[in-house]
Amino acid sequence: MPCAAALSAISEATAQPEAIAALAHALGETLLPDDPAAAARELRRAAGMLDELGLPLAAAHASHRAAVAATAAREAAAARQLLQAACHTAERLGARQLLEDCAAALSGLDGQPAPGPARTAKAAGKTARAIAGLTARELDVMRLVADGNTARQAGAALFISPRTVEMHVQSCLLKLGCRTRAEAVRRLAELGALSVPAKTG
């Protein structure tokens, strides 16, 4: 709750859309244990705002969490719709960990099997992590870096600070034995962890 209170103060003081979206997300997470229906509403609101701000990955993460809340509130149809939208975005952006999470959640809804592409991404993500020795979060960061995002943009998409993004990048460079980001992105593409060529220098 201190996090939600702090974000509330920031959003009131600055009226920054990012802060308001983060507040809705934080409120949704806070409400989830006791009032999943209200949590789902807040998280859906956060997803909508993040999408309008041009932060598709953050919006997809919020949609996934909204689906978790909707599932807890016994709103299976709404949960499925949210998960399918999040899956589509995660697949488009190459966010394999999120794709895995959404596929697992979808498979748990009424015993429905996970979509084929999600299963494929799950296997590919596990293989890439095993080969490269990277964590799921490090792969998410490197995918955003490969798409040309700055540390600030990547941090906003993943709800982490630019400094944390840089720490993940440095960890990736060490694990991959690379000296530059472009070299690391090329290496990850060779390992099958990235489906797009490097756009960074």
Contact present, 122 and 103 (Cβ < 8 Å): yes
Same domain assignment for residues 86 and 144: no
The DSSP line for 83-108 is: HHHHHHHHHHHT-HHHHHHHHHHHHH
Q: Per residue in 99-146, pLDDT tens?
A: 888 888 888 875 654 444 444 445 545 544 555 677 878 888 888 998
The parent domain of residue 141 ranges over 133-201
CA nearest to 63, candidates 49, 35, 44, 38: 44
Positions in the chain whose pLDDT score sits under 70: 1-15, 110-132, 195-201
Q: What is the pLDDT of residue 180?
A: 92
Q: What is the distance between the alpha carbons of residues 70 and 40, in angstroms, rounded to a whole number?
A: 5
85/158 same-domain check: no
CATH number at residue 113: 1.25.40.10
Q: Is 179 helix (H, G, I), strand (E, B) or coil?
A: coil
Are 127 and 141 contained in the same domain?
no
pLDDT value of position 126: 52
| Same domain for 155 and 110 | no
What CATH number should be reported for the domain holding residue 180? 1.10.10.10
Which domain-ending residue is among 132, 147, 182? 132
- The confidence score (pLDDT) of residue 136 equals 78
Contact 79, 47 (CB under 8 A): no
Count how many domains the chain has.
2
pLDDT of residue 41: 92
Alpha helices in the chain (DSSP H): 2-14, 17-31, 36-52, 56-72, 76-93, 96-108, 116-132, 136-146, 151-158, 162-176, 181-191
Domain end among 83, 116, 132: 132
